[in-house]
């Protein structure tokens, strides 16, 4: 009864994807959680997606994951961010019902074949001859497994801090994990201390919404998941507001009470999601900061005040909120708080997310130093698939930076490491025009299918989509005559009329002409749906940029194919600088491409390494 193929520790977004990936690919899986009520819990903002994070959700779905499907089913409101910019940075974001998200996630896990769920604290990891062999619970129960995936989130020795008040606790009063950090340290893991925070929750019935700008978005948005049959409707909007000088004065006058500036908080916080007191100090010249009032669910009055996270005392938090027009009489239902927690140095992981220290021990999510639900889920599905593939004696998955945002995320973690909570951003992806959210299925579904997580039916749909795109590309190479209808269309949209016939693709490069407008007069794409038309429109408009990125990818891909032997002794390479030797020895890159991205390894060092590999017949 206590023997499993895989044990997943933690039931947050990483744990959910890891457990489902293992169970759905035939592995007898145990998912342990500190509390069954915390499965799929959204302790901070109940939203899924957003800038760059939306890309991750689409990629998780393309690989066969569940996050996008759950988000679609629990949507309150959604909008496409950056839709005024190019398609590379379009990012879908959904405000979801936190209780419904939890309920759907729990039900999905409970009804998955090969998966058992256990409420227990894991206090120790068991190893045998350098291999993971099982776990021990707080009750002394031992569970054996061939692989273990740690998805512990922010629960490792976590501490909640509100002003002078501090308590050993997980988010929202859930219990924390007090002993597992010590077990990891004993095994040789380097333990780091990070910090994050969350805003207060206020009662919607005490908000004067007329003082705020309603965020209405009636544009049609796609589903996160191909599994979703019906597109969710927006049923409740968010509202935009701003702090003021009075708010800032209150914060400045109480900085001496801030745990952040008193030194009570030891953990390193996220640079891109600072507390309101940190914003006031770092951006002192700003007269106001924006925030959003976002519903936490349809069956609760709780409203999330996005943009005003804090660890100041509760009485000061009340003063801050009440200084804002429209919130003068607002009732605070939950105080904002900071939370510190243990995580590991991600440089101790392989690109497969397997530990370099213990074989078949994988880590995913905030234990690796990331922040965010989407980053966690993305790592969870890769760790889950790789644990399953390892047990099935099949090649594991390592996504390249030109293949997926997930590839960028994991490569950054295991190659560069992070000294603060890592957040995914579009600027981190050098090939972002190539790895858009709209083509995630075209990029990754085949990988998910080969790994056994994507069904044959879903894979065949993607193959059909690819065939239609190829057919559409052939049509775009055709020429059309300067008919009266085309000339009128061009003139109406501020474009110069044609003097002679033109290739369809060339017409689509014009800024004010898209494929829908053009097809209304030429009718050559009548058999294609909007999803295919969108792909063709992007291909036509950004063809030149896409070709440039393809050339860059092909050039960098050469180094990715040059494998570095695991047993290479960098100390023998006399031409390498000392720093390069130390970094290469610590990280042990899989290939020359990864080696070139390591901080402290120069182009000259790569040249020395290349010569060595050639000399020893490795290239």
Q: What is the CATH number of the domain that holds 205?
A: 3.50.50.60
CATH number at residue 591: 1.10.150.570
* Residue 311 belongs to some domain of the structure: yes
Three-state DSSP class for residue 338: strand
Q: Is the pLDDT of residue 382 over 70?
A: yes
Classify residue 455: in a domain, yes or no.
no
Residue where one domain finishes, among candidates 519, 547, 575: 547
**Per-residue pLDDT at 84 exceeds 90:** no
| pLDDT tens profile 460-497 | 999 999 999 999 999 999 999 999 999 999 999 999 99
Both 231 and 301 in one domain: the answer is: yes
Distance CA(316)–CA(319), nearest Å, equals: 5
Q: Are 61 and 225 in contact (CB under 8 A)?
A: yes
Amino acid 511: pLDDT: 93
Q: Transcribe 267-280 into DSSP letters.
A: SBPPTTS--HHHHH
In a domain, 514, yes or no: yes
Domain count, the chain: 3
- The two three-digit tokens of residue 121, written as one number: 């604290």
* Residues 499, 423 share a domain: no
**Given 547, 574, 594, which residue is the final one in a domain?**
547
Instruction: Tell me the average pLDDT across 575-596.
Output: 89
In the chain, what percentage of residues exceed pLDDT 70?
100
State how far the Cα of 568 lies from the Cα of 427, in Å rounded to an integer: 34
Q: Confidence band (pLDDT; 50, 70, 90) for 24?
A: very high
Res 144: pLDDT = 98
User: 110 with 196, same domain?
Assistant: yes
Tell me what pLDDT residue 440 has: 97
CA distance 170 to 155: 5
Residue 540 and residue 567 share a domain: no
Q: Is residue 237 part of a domain?
A: yes
Predicted local distance difference test score (pLDDT) of residue 261 = 74
Are 158 and 340 a contacting pair, CB within 8 Å?
yes
Conformation bin of residue 424: beta by default, left when phi > 0, alpha when psi is -120 to 50: beta
* Tokens 């606790």, residue located: 169
Among 397, 413, 446, the domain boundary falls at: 446
| pLDDT recorded at residue 618 | 64
Phi-psi region of 28 (alpha: psi -120 to 50; beta: other; left: phi over 0): beta
- Domain for residue 167, yes or no? yes
**111 within a domain of the structure (yes/no):** yes
Q: State yes or no: pLDDT of 617 exceeds 80.
A: no
pLDDT band at 561 (very low <50, low <70, confident <90, very high): confident
Q: What are phi and psi of 323, to 5 degrees?
A: -85, -5
pLDDT of 506 = 95
SS3 content of the chain, % helix, strand, coil (to 5): 40, 20, 40
Residue-wise pLDDT for 528-542, tens only, equals 999 999 999 999 999
Question: Residue 511 maps to which CATH number?
Answer: 1.10.10.1800
pLDDT above 80 for 343: yes
Long-range contacts of 249-256 (CB under 8 A, 24+ apart): 250/316, 250/319, 250/320, 250/323, 251/276, 251/277, 251/280, 251/312, 251/316, 251/320, 252/280, 254/312, 254/313, 254/316, 254/319, 255/281
Are 174 and 253 part of one and the same domain?
yes
Residues 377 and 516 in one domain: no
CA-based nearest residue to 476, from 498, 453, 502: 502
Query: 354 and 497, same structural domain?
Result: no
> What is the average per-residue pLDDT within 78-89?
91
Query: Domain range for residue 608?
Result: 561-615
Sheet strand arrangement including 75-81: 47-49, 91-96, 75-81
Nearest-CA neighbor of 427 among 442, 412, 444, 445?
A: 412
What pLDDT does 219 receive? Answer: 80
Report the relative pairing of strands 115-119 and 332-334 from DSSP bridges.
unpaired
Average pLDDT, the chain: 94
Give yes or no for residue 82 having a pLDDT over 70.
yes
238 with 117, same domain? yes
- Would 556 be classed as within a structural domain? no
Burial 99-118 (b: 16+ CB within 10 A, else e): bbbbbbbbebbeebebbbbe
Helix 440-450 with 53-62: angle, nearest 10 deg: 40
H/E stretch holding 56 reads helix 53-62
What is the three-class DSSP state of 513? Answer: coil
User: What pLDDT, in 10s, does the model give residues 98-140?
Assistant: 999 999 999 999 999 999 999 999 999 999 999 999 999 999 9
**Mean pLDDT of all residues in 50-65:** 97
The pTM for the full model equals 0.94
Q: Where does the pLDDT of residue 70 fall: very low under 50, low under 70, confident under 90, or very high at 90 and above? A: very high
Binned at pLDDT 50, 70 and 90, residue 154 comes out as very high
Q: Check if the beta carbon of residue 309 is closer than 8 Å to that of residue 336.
A: yes
Nearest-CA neighbor of 224 among 109, 355, 67, 338? Answer: 67
Residues 89 and 232 in one domain: yes
Lowest mean pLDDT among 187-191, 396-400, 469-473, 596-600: 596-600
pLDDT 10s digits, 497-531: 999 999 999 999 999 999 999 999 999 999 999 99
Contacts of 358 (CB under 8 A, 6+ apart): 125, 127, 130, 131, 132, 187
411 and 496 co-located in one domain: no
Q: How far apart are CA 288 and CA 558, in angstroms?
A: 49
Is the model's pLDDT at 260 over the cut of 90? no
Q: Examine the domain organization and report whether 233 and 348 are in the same domain.
A: yes
Q: 420 and 508: one domain?
A: no
pLDDT level of residue 180 (50, 70, 90 thresholds): very high
CA 360, CA 254: separation in Å to the nearest integer?
Answer: 49
Is residue 553 assigned to a domain?
no
Of residues 603 and 27, more confidently modeled = 27
Residues facing 4 on adjacent strands: 145
């Amino acid at each position: 009864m206590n023997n499993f193929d895989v044990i997943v520790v933690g039931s947050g977004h990483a744990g959910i994807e890891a457990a489902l990936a293992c169970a759905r690919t035939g592995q007898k899986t145990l998912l342990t959680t500190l509390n069954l009520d915390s499965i799929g819990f959204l302790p901070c903002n109940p939203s899924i997606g957003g800038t760059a994070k939306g890309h991750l959700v689409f990629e998780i779905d393309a690989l066969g994951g569940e996050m996008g499907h759950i988000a679609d089913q629990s949507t309150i409101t959604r909008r496409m961010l950056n839709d005024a910019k190019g398609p590379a940075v379009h990012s879908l974001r959904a405000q979801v019902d936190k209780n419904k998200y939890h309920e759907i996630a729990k039900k999905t896990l409970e009804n998955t074949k090969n998966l058992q769920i256990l409420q227990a604290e894991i206090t120790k990891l068991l190893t045998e001859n350098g291999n993971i062999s099982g776990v021990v619970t707080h009750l002394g129960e031992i569970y054996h497994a061939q692989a273990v995936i740690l998805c512990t989130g922010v629960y490792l020795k976590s501490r909640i801090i509100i002003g002078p008040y501090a308590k050993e606790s997980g988010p929202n009063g859930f219990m924390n994990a007090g002993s597992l950090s010590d077990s990891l340290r004993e095994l040789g893991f380097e333990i780091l201390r990070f910090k994050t925070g969350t805003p207060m929750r206020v009662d919607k019935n005490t908000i004067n919404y007329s003082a705020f700008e309603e965020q209405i978005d009636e544009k049609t948005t796609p589903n996160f998941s191909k599994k979703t049959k019906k597109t969710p409707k927006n049923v409740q909007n968010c509202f935009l507001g701003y702090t003021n000088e009075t708010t800032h004065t209150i914060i400045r006058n109480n900085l001496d009470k801030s745990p952040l500036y008193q030194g009570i908080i030891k953990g390193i916080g996220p640079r891109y999601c600072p507390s309101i007191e940190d914003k006031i100090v770092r951006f002192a010249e700003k007269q106001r900061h924006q925030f959003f009032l976002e519903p936490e669910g349809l069956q609760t009055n709780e409203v999330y005040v996005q943009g005003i996270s804090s660890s100041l005392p509760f009485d000061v938090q009340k003063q801050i909120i009440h200084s804002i027009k429209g919130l003068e009489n607002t009732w605070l239902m939950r105080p904002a708080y900071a939370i510190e927690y243990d995580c590991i140095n991600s440089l101790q992981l392989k690109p497969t997310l397997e530990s370099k220290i213990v074989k078949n021990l994988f880590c995913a999510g905030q234990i690796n130093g990331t922040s965010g639900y989407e980053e966690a889920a993305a790592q969870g599905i890769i760790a889950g698939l790789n644990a399953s593939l390892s047990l099935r004696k099949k090649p594991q998955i390592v996504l390249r930076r030109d293949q997926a945002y997930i590839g960028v995320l994991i490569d950054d973690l295991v190659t560069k490491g992070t000294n603060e909570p890592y957040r995914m951003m579009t600027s981190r992806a050098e090939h972002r025009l190539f790895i858009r959210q709209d083509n995630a299925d075209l990029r990754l579904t085949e990988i998910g299918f080969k790994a056994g997580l994507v069904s044959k039916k879903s894979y065949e749909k993607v193959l059909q989509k690819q065939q239609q795109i190829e057919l559409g590309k052939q049509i775009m190479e055709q020429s059309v005559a300067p008919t009266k209808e085309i000339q009128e269309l061009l003139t109406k949209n501020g474009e110069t009329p044609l003097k002679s016939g033109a290739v369809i693709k060339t017409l689509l490069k014009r800024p004010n002409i898209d494929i829908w407008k053009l097809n209304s007069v030429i009718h050559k794409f009548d058999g294609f749906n909007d999803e295919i038309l969108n792909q063709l429109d992007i291909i036509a408009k950004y063809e030149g940029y896409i070709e440039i990125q393809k050339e860059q990818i092909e050039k960098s891909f050469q180094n990715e194919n040059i494998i570095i032997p695991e047993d290479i002794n960098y100390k023998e390479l006399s031409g390498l600088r000392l720093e390069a030797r130390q970094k290469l020895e610590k990280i042990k890159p899989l290939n020359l491409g990864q080696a070139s991205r390591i901080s402290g390894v120069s182009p000259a060092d790569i040249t020395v390494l290349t010569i060595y590999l050639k000399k020893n017949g490795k290239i």
